[in-house]
Every structure is written in structure tokens, then in C-alpha cells.
Amino acid sequence: MNLDRIRSSVDVDTLQRSHVTVVGGAFGLARDLVRTGVGAITLVDFGVVKPQNPARQDFGAHDVGARKVDATGRDLLQINPDLELDLVAEDFCTIPRDSFDAHFGATDLFVLAPDQHPPNARGNLEVLRLGKPAIWIGLYKGARAGEIIFHVPDVTPACYRCITGTRYASFDAGTAAPESDGGTILDLRLVDAIAGQLAVGILTRGADNRFGKLVDALGSRNLLQIKIAHDYTLNERDIFAEQLGTRSSNFSFSTIAMEMQRDPKCPDCARLHTHSHEEHPQTLLH
């Protein structure tokens, strides 16, 4: 795979030594990361391609009935036949600890994009335990806005749970629901493209280019919100106007990076700071 045309802006050599694990979606992003030079990919998803999937994910009609990891894996190898590929067609939440570490211990970056709360929650626990960076990708209701949360050890004080504590409470109360209904492939690709830039930035941090400088420039601003619908508001607040102003040019497709601080009551961070190795709460894994 010839990457000469992007070497001037991307640390290709580092990416070719990098291993990314993609959980529960972001199939298009996985393809783009391979095109950018990532040398090893692990895909985790136990789903099968359904007739409605090609409308909003990177599958074709010929993939219907196949396992999502198999269909995506075939495409990744067509992009780069030398790619190191691991396909895990299992429920991310129920993979035992020893198998988890065998599959993912060499991962340099986790990308989590499931619709459901439990795999995101387990992802937070595991990246904290393993000391790995991670990116969580999601769409808000009706795909009117999107969200990216990232964690980089020793850079971002707030973990995923610190930032999304209300989702944990909603899940425990039985009121949580998938938010991505209404999201088109266009919305998903818009958010994935930003997440992909961040992924390259994390993997090549320190390189003397715009990607290598990205993580340190963001620092603790590890909640990115992307405005998709021009009239999007959050609980009747125009959070984008609050940050960017109310000029007519602040219309849509903007991204704001919000500074997040650690929640001192966050039980996931408490495990990290007290070096606790307790087993995961069952409510997060099922």
C-alpha cells in the first residue's frame, strides 16, 4: 500500500506500527484508518448485517446475512492485504478478563461506537485498567448533533463516566435508549471524520505535524460536540451559540471542544486512583 501522498502530513511509519480496536460500529472509520496507514485492526461485533444496515453503514446488499466483522474484514484486506486483522465476533461485555487481555492487550487505541450503554461502560473500565487511550463516538437523538469523548492517560483528567454520569443513572433506572435512530450515513461519516483525525492525533502524538500536535492542543477539552442540524438545542439551550456567538455564520457543522474535569465521586476513576482491581459491576456488563 503506497502512502507517499500523505507522508507530508501524517506520521505513516508510526501508524503502520499501531494497533486499533474498533468496538460495535464505526466500520467506515475502520476503513479510513487503514487507508491512513494503521497497520493492525481488531474488530469487535457479534452482529449480523441486516437489510436496513446498508442504508446507514458501510455494507452492501451482498453483505446481508454475513457477520459484520467478516464483511468489514474482507473490505479492509482489499484496501491493504498486509493488514494485521483480528475478528472478534463476541459480545464485548461478556468477554472474560483473560480472553480480553489476550485479544486487546496490544491495542494502542480503542474506538467505541455502539448504540448501547453497557459496552461503552465496560470500555471505560478497561481502558482505565490497561492505561490505554480511547475514543467514544455517538449521535444525539435524531442525529441533530454528534459527540466524541476521548481519553488519553496523563492528559485528560475526566474519564468517560465523569462526563456521562447522567447516562449511567438513566441506565440504572431503566430509562436509557439508543439515540442514533434517524442518523444517516452522512451524519455518521461527518462525526467519524472528526474522530478519525483525533485517532491519528492520539496514535502519532508528538509528531511534528498537525496531527501530532492535536492532542496536546486539546488537552483536557475532551468532550467534542458537533452541530449537525442548524437549529439544534440541548434542553432548550443553544450550546453552540453560547460558545461561538450568535452571528448568522454560526449556522451548522461546527465543533466545540469542552473542557472537562474529573468527578471526584466517579467510581471508575476511584478504581484507578486507589489502584483497585475489583471485578466489574455486573450492571455494566449485561
Residue 14 is inside which H or E element, if any?
helix 12-16
CATH code of residue 232: 3.40.50.720
Q: Output DSSP code: residue 162.
A: H
Q: How high is the pLDDT of residue 30?
A: 97
In the numeric block, the cell 455486573 is attached to 282
Strand-strand pairing, 134-139 and 109-112: parallel
Among 43-47, 53-57, 280-284, top mean pLDDT goes to: 43-47
Q: What is the band of 115 on the pLDDT scale with cuts at 50, 70, 90?
A: confident
Q: How high is the pLDDT of residue 176?
A: 67
Q: Is the pLDDT of residue 284 over 50?
A: no
For the chain, count helices (H), then strands (E): 12, 8
Query: Using CA of residue 65, residue 41, residue 137, residue 275, what is the dihedral sign?
Result: positive
d(CA 36, CA 34): 5
CB 54 within 8 A of CB 63: yes
Side-chain-facing half-sphere of 204: CA atoms under 13 Å: 28
* Residue 142 region by backbone torsions, left for phi larger than 0, else alpha for psi between -120 and 50, else beta: left
Distances (CA, A) of 7 to 2, 4, 59, 108: 10, 5, 29, 21
Domain holding 92, by residue range, is 4-285
φ/ψ of residue 250, rounded to 5:
-80, 80
Q: What is the band of 174 on the pLDDT scale with cuts at 50, 70, 90?
A: confident
Largest interatomic CA distance in the chain: 54
Q: Is the pLDDT of residue 285 over 50?
A: no
* Residue 75 region by backbone torsions, left for phi larger than 0, else alpha for psi between -120 and 50, else beta: alpha
Percent of the residues in the chain that have a pLDDT greater than 70, as a whole number: 93
Quick one: average pLDDT of 116-139? 96
Q: Is the pLDDT of residue 277 over 80?
A: no
Percent of the residues in the chain that have a pLDDT greater than 90, as a whole number: 84
279, three cell numbers: 471485578
Q: How many domains does the chain have?
A: 1
CB 25 within 8 A of CB 114: yes
The overall average pLDDT reported for the chain is 92
Q: Using a cut of 0.85, tell me whether the model's pTM lies above it.
A: yes
Quick one: average pLDDT of 180-190? 88
φ/ψ of residue 133, rounded to 5:
-80, 160
251, three cell numbers: 449556522
